[in-house]
Amino acid sequence: MPNLSAHIARRPWSPSLHLRWPLPAVLAWSAGWGTAIACRHAGAPLAGWALLAGAAVAAALALACDGLRRRLIAAGGFPLSALALAASAGEVAAWAWLLALLPLALVYPLRAWRDAPFFPTPAQALAGLDSVVQPPPARVLDAGCGLGHGLAALQRLWPRAELRGYEWSLPMAWLAARRVPGAAVQRADMWAGSWAGFDLVYLFQRPESMARAWAKAQTEMAEGAWLVSLEFAVPGVPPAAQLPGSDGRPVFVYRSGGRHAAPLARGKRASTAGRPGR
């Protein structure tokens, strides 16, 4: 019989709430407030022990979230809201805080929370991609374009390409269309909208989305079309090329149909080194 205790001791402990984002953050915030309220009933001041206790509970639950950014969001939500409430000295009614959330819900609707949070594409993150993607793509899609940072980067690479962006948030789609005048931006679900007919689809999503993105690309895009992902790789699928990225974020380049990228111009070779994802 195998030594079970030795097997358990060798296994790395990796906490996980196994909940779909943003539920882990909501749970951490709620637990922080629940702890603080319990401490208040025990006589502790909100800005003192109650705040520290609530922040500690929220931080403990935040450790089970995947990725540094999500842990910071989950851990920071309670103390920030508690400090804001304490600063108001009780003069702001509870319903006023709900009203303050309405602009956030409008700009970033709950349905979009299942995809990547708003992290703009850095200006030079895709530098060198045009030397890998040959011939230049005629039709390019930024799936989940946010405020248009990725569209602007793609436009600098291929100014003559037909650019399109899908963005679920109506205000963000409106602003992206004005930020990148040459792009056609529409309010659309990147997963429901068709990727057919595009020579290249660009993503800056999250690790959990990449298998789904690859399956959609294989189903809808023509053989040899390009799928480009900033920072996150498709699990189990070797990229046709990989660029280091100007700010340390790797750029993973795939071709639908399992084909590999053409040899790089001027004898360049794409780097195989990259920073692990969030």
Per-residue pLDDT of the chain (278 residues; tens, 9 = 90+): 444 334 333 333 334 445 667 778 788 888 888 887 887 777 655 556 777 787 888 888 887 777 666 777 878 777 777 766 665 545 444 544 454 555 555 545 555 555 555 578 988 999 999 999 999 999 999 999 988 999 999 999 999 999 999 998 888 898 899 999 999 999 999 999 999 999 999 999 888 899 999 999 999 999 999 999 999 999 999 999 999 977 778 999 999 974 443 333 333 333 333 333 33
Single residue among 92, 121, 156 that ends a domain in this structure: 92
Q: Quote the tokens at residue 85.
A: 């409430």
- Residues 199, 133 share a domain: yes
Q: Report the 10 Å Cβ neighbour count for 37.
A: 13
What was the pLDDT predicted at 16?
A: 44
Domain contains 226: yes
Of 208, 267, 217, which is closest to residue 239 (Cα–Cα)?
217
- Residues 235, 141 share a domain: yes
Domain contains 261: yes
- Residues 262, 147 share a domain: yes
Give CA–CA dist 204/231, Å, rounded: 7
Contact 141, 202 (CB under 8 A): yes
- Residues 142, 245 share a domain: yes
Domain contains 232: yes
CA 40 to the chain's CA centroid: 36
CATH number, domain at 185? 3.40.50.150
Residues in the chain: 278
Domain contains 111: no
- Residues 258, 195 share a domain: yes
What was the pLDDT predicted at 117?
A: 54
What was the pLDDT predicted at 2?
A: 44
pTM exceeds 0.75? no
| Domain that residue 156 falls in | 129-267
Domain count, the chain: 2
- Residues 171, 248 share a domain: yes
Give CA–CA dist 136/19, Å, rounded: 41
Q: Quote the tokens at residue 174.
A: 């409106």
Domain contains 146: yes
Domain contains 123: no
Single residue among 38, 72, 92 that ends a domain in this structure: 92
Single residue among 92, 116, 148 that ends a domain in this structure: 92
pLDDT above 90 coverage of the chain, percent: 39
What was the pLDDT predicted at 261?
A: 36
Domain contains 103: no
- Residues 159, 228 share a domain: yes
